[in-house]
Amino acid sequence: MTRLRLTLAGVALTVVWVAMSLADEPASVALFDGKTLTGWTLEHTQRFAVRDGVIVNDGGTGWLRSDKRYKNFELEAEYRAVNKGADSGIFFRTATESSPEEPHWPARGYQLQVSDSENNFKVFGHGTPPPTSDRHSAELKQAMKGAGEWQQIRLKVVGTRVEASLNGVPVTASDAIALPEGHIGLQAEHGHFEWRSLKIKELPAS
């Protein structure tokens, strides 16, 4: 076989290998259609709405949860704290039932804090022991933008491990996530928050 034929054969094998790899990779799907809250359920609040292609929460307490439950996934979203001091969060692996002590929050699950306070990007447990957390404060401070600016968040949950990044910078990692699956949710707590471009990729177990 000539050198040209060997080269062409190698290229063909590479193309096949890349195509097979892409076919095996999970695809991201939209969690928000940009028009309605289809696929979501309001829990203890009526203060989530869709305006101009954005999920808007203007305060109050409660949460907006996904109808579907998820185990291992990578979530991407963009958010904006419209006013300084606004406080929200992303729930994950949460139950539908409400907490007797705090009826506006889920009884069991986890939350990634999203705010402009010193608690930003901490991982909390609801009705379950708090996971260990390693938060990179210096990197977080550099990555954060001010109130009114859109920011990009990525949350990866596989097995007992959680990793979060802000604007492309890894800022938080947590272990000992005990609950195996549950809903994803957006928290209403304080101030005016907006969300857009929510998409999720379901992942295999590690």
| Domain CATH number, residue 146 | 2.60.120.560
In the chain, the number of structural domains is 1
Residue 23 falls inside a structural domain: no
Q: Please report whether residue 73 resides in a domain.
A: yes
- Residue labelled with tokens 């309001």: 42
Flag whether 12 is in a domain: no
Q: Would you say residue 141 lies in a domain? A: yes
Identify whether 19 is part of a domain: no
Digit-coded pLDDT (tens) for 62-118: 999 999 999 999 999 999 999 998 999 999 999 999 988 888 999 999 999 998 776
- Tokens for 9, please give them: 């054969």
Q: Name the residue range of residue 150's domain.
A: 28-202
The reported pTM is: 0.87
- The pLDDT confidence band at residue 17, using thresholds 50, 70 and 90, is very low
Instruction: Say if 49 falls within a structural domain.
Output: yes
Residue 17 lies in a domain: no
